[in-house]
Amino acid sequence: MITIHDSRFTIHESIMSTKINSNVVDTVDKLGEQNMEMCFNCSKCTAVCPMDECLLPRTLFRYALLGMTDKIKKEQEKIYSCLLCRLCEQSCPRGVKIADNIRMMRRYLNNEVFHIQ
């Protein structure tokens, strides 16, 4: 069971019901390794995000780190809705490169889902 805590709700999901792709981390590294693993779910990024809770970068990062490609694909609207304004990065106590990680996820979707090179 994976539990992802957000400031307003908790997501409980069974790993058994989720397609896991262990190669997604390698794919992420090839696209440009970022420091998404540094996120420790403090929710400071969500608090300042003009997109409010709809984006939830740390949830997206967990999906990527756990290889949950089907979840990443389902969140594509959120991934493309990010304004890349970097307000989240200014409030991040760990210095996570959130905008760069979102760009990487867009490249992943472009390559693996939409087959755009």
Best CA proximity match to 112, nearest among 82, 75, 72: 72
68 or 30: whose pLDDT is higher? 68
pLDDT of res. 8: 46
pLDDT of res. 9: 45
Question: Does residue 17 carry a pLDDT above 70?
Answer: no
Question: How far lies 111's CA from each of 23, 30, 106, in Å?
Answer: 14, 12, 9
Domain annotation for the chain: domains and CATH numbers: 19-112 (1.10.1060.10)
Q: How confident is the model at residue 25 (pLDDT cuts 50, 70, 90)?
A: low
Number of H helices, E strands in the chain: 7, 2
Chain-centre distance of CA 99, in angstroms? Answer: 10
Query: What is the reported pTM?
Result: 0.72
E strand or H helix that includes residue 96: none
